[in-house]
Amino acid sequence: MGLIRSPESDPILVDFASEIGSVGPVVVRGGGTHWDLGGGSDPAAREVRPPEGIVGIRAEEMTVEARAGTLVSELHEALRPFGQRTSLPESPGSTVGGTLAVGWSGIARLGRGQTRDSVLQVHYVSAEGRLITAGGPTVKNVSGFDMCRLLVGSLGTLGCMADMILRTRPIPEVEVWHRVVDVDPAEVLRRCRTSASILWDGRSTWVLSAGYRADVDSDLRALSELGSLRPDHPPDLPPIRWSRRPSDLFDMSRADAAVGRFVAEIGVGVVHTENPVEPSPPSPGTVALQRRIKDALDPTGRFNPGRRVGGI
């Protein structure tokens, strides 16, 4: 007999599970902000809306529980009076569940951490229509296998996320964007520890400085010694997003003109470009292992058919 709160105690989750059911292709649609990712969904799949609403803000624990359909912007709005937020990136209309299903981190990953590391517990519906608990409610937990990490970035192909507990972080005392021209972005990374984001388009560098006032001021003095500095907004990001090793980004300015305009996340390795680039294929052993995981958790392939995660 379990001693912790069962997801069955939330009738909204129970309704969601019965709507998912146990047969037939199904896809959960959040904000639809990245709907074509992984090749788009099979039109035969029945679309289900995720449950919405913030379940509880536990500011003293630095955690928050929200249902999957909650807007990330709404979540952060509710956390702001407590001086907290999550690592999840915000884009207009994006939901908490959708953001986890996609798994991407935001442009301030350098300072705010990765999306995948912020997930403590997930309630999801299994392929058999059962409500499952993965992880646990506390900020630290190694009880059982880490199903939470597996769900992040799985594009809804392994389970239908219903509700999640996320770790929150304090909002820094100061957060300010500047633009510097003609500096080596690697030098910014080395010298300015308050950099929560360093974006570089080959000419200009945008820096989000975040932290205590005295430290940000000290970093801004260092930045102004490197090049001319002025307050700015972050640049618009080109539409295609791909993943590289952080050091590969410095070669972008010499790269094939085919990528078009680019904005690189220095120190992280994500780069945003105008035009797509062929991603490197995953190793064959990994493809087979991923296939086995998909088959084990969704034996009939009913979750988000048509959508391909990685190489499978």
| Closest CB 116 distance from other proteins, rounded Å | 6
| Closest CB 92 distance from other proteins, rounded Å | 22
| Closest CB 290 distance from other proteins, rounded Å | 5
Q: Which is nearer to other proteins, 75 or 265 (CB)?
A: 265
Q: Which is nearer to other proteins, 70 or 105 (CB)?
A: 105
**What span, in angstroms and rounded, lies between the C-alpha atoms of 12 and 163?**
10
Q: Which is nearer to other proteins, 31 or 211 (CB)?
A: 211
Residue 96 three-state SS = helix
| Closest CB 245 distance from other proteins, rounded Å | 5
Q: Which is nearer to other proteins, 246 or 306 (CB)?
A: 246
For residue 211, the cross-strand partners are 174
Both tokens of 188, joined, read 């910014």
| Closest CB 102 distance from other proteins, rounded Å | 10
**What span, in angstroms and rounded, lies between the C-alpha atoms of 133 and 143?**
12
Q: 219 burial class (0-12, 13-18, 19+ CB within 10 angstroms)?
A: buried
Q: What letters, b where the CB count within 10 A reaches 16 and e where it falls short, cover 133-169?
A: bbbbeeeeeeeeeebbebbbebbbbbbbbbbbbbbbb
Q: Which is nearer to other proteins, 71 or 192 (CB)?
A: 192
Q: Which is nearer to other proteins, 66 or 271 (CB)?
A: 271
Closest by CA to 139, choosing from 78, 62, 76, 212, is 62
* 43 Cβ neighbours under 8 A, 6+ residues apart: none
| Closest CB 247 distance from other proteins, rounded Å | 5
**What span, in angstroms and rounded, lies between the C-alpha atoms of 81 and 85?**
10
